[in-house]
Amino acid sequence: MPISHIGCDDALLIIDLQNDFLPGGALAVKNGHELAPLINDIIKRGFSTVIASRDWHPPHHQSFSTQGGKWAQHCVAGTQGAEFDPHLNLTKITHIIHKGTDPKCESYSAFEDENGRPTGLEALLKARSIKRVFLCGLALDYCVKATALDAIKAKFDTVLLHDATRSIHKPELTLNDLQKKGVKII
Ligand code: VGL
Ligand code: ZN
């Protein structure tokens, strides 16, 4: 399936394309810097809804190793590491969604945190009568995956733009899992 016939009920979701997830950042995803030009090109295919999520943590977020969590400190709200990749064309982004803002709760998904508290993404998509979402960004095996699964749960037609993602671990298991749950991979 090519990315064509994009209509006003389609949305592009760009997940966490932020400095801390790029080479040189606190939680670098290998080759993450390759995505901005690809995504800039995808945006031009006629999406009228382009939503970018940002991992947006307080300085003492529970996911940080300093607090007993799994990750190095990353994407602290307002810091350079939390800014979008400077090569991403921000002029076409229509909405920004913040995630992981609760110091006591992880939120891989751009839809809701692990306590089920919504970010506002689902309400936004439904208010704009979006039926189909195309996903890209970082990292495939964490935040992109969790967002894709929640998109399926919320009954959106869900398409993963595989070339416009990068993964922390080998992607095969993630891709298999997503496909089994109904995500189209192109
Ligand atoms: C992410 C680890 C921690 C991601 C966010 O955006 O994939 N991964 N926080
Ligand atoms: Zn995070």
Residue 2 predicted with pLDDT over 90: no
- pLDDT, tens only, 85-121: 999 999 999 999 999 999 999 999 999 999 999 999 9
The reported pLDDT for the residue numbered 84 is 98
Whether the Cβ atoms of residue 135 and residue 109 lie closer than 8 Å to each other: no
- pLDDT, tens only, 113-172: 999 999 999 999 999 999 999 999 999 999 999 999 999 999 999 999 999 999 999 999
- pLDDT, tens only, 31-87: 999 999 999 999 999 999 999 999 999 999 999 999 999 999 999 999 999 999 999
Question: How far is CA 91 from each of CA 4, 23, 169, rounded to the nearest angstrom?
Answer: 21, 24, 32
Whether the CB of 55 sits within 6 Å of ligand 1: yes
Q: Is 16 a catalytic residue?
A: yes
The reported pLDDT for the residue numbered 8 is 96
Catalytic residue among 75, 85, 143, 150: 143
The reported pLDDT for the residue numbered 1 is 63
Whether the CB of 143 sits within 6 Å of ligand 1: yes
Which residue ranges make up each domain of the chain? 10-185
Write down the CATH superfamily of domain 10-185.
Isochorismatase-like (3.40.50.850)
Q: Rounded to a whole number, what is the distance in angstroms from the first to the last CA of the chain?
A: 6
Rounded Cα–Cα distance for residues 41 and 89 (Å):
9
Rounded Cα–Cα distance for residues 156 and 139 (Å):
21
Rg of the chain's alpha carbons, rounded to an integer?
Answer: 15
Provide the pLDDT confidence category of residue 17 given band limits of 50, 70 and 90: very high
